[in-house]
Amino acid sequence: MKLLILFAFLFQLASGQDYLTLKDLPYQPDGAQLTDYQKERCKLDLYYPADKKNFATVVWFHGGGITGGQKHFPKELLTQGIAIAAVNYRLAPRVKSPAYIEDCAASIAWVFKNIARY
């Protein structure tokens, strides 16, 4: 994790960008016993201003009707002075309701708990 943050910081310095991106951060609670599918899908990417404090944060859930889709940052939200947490969650029919809702709730809880670090 520290290496990933260091790499993101160095990339930002080299490219002169004002934003950092971290990929595939697991958002399930520490100690949770996860299935292989949860380990694969329950991750988020974080895009945030490098030199700004107290920014707003949007948690973005991709479309796909609960049966498809991948996390991504909407281009309309980029470079707006905000952070974006782009979330992957488990999909139907591989899981049933409320599994994907629980994943989304866990990702929001992770953002509330961790965004101040960034």
The predicted structure's pLDDT at residue 2? 55
The answer, as to whether pTM is greater than 0.85, is: no
pLDDT in tens, 77-109: 999 999 999 999 999 999 999 999 999 999 999
In angstroms, rounded to a whole number, what is the distance separating the alpha carbons of residues 10 and 80? Answer: 22
Q: For the ranges 4-13, 36-45, 68-77, 81-90, which has the lowest average pLDDT?
A: 4-13
In angstroms, rounded to a whole number, what is the distance separating the alpha carbons of residues 25 and 45? Answer: 6
Report the percentage of the chain scoring pLDDT > 90. 83
The predicted structure's pLDDT at residue 10? 46
- Fill in the DSSP letter of residue 24: E
Contact call for residues 91 and 39 (beta carbons, < 8 A):
no
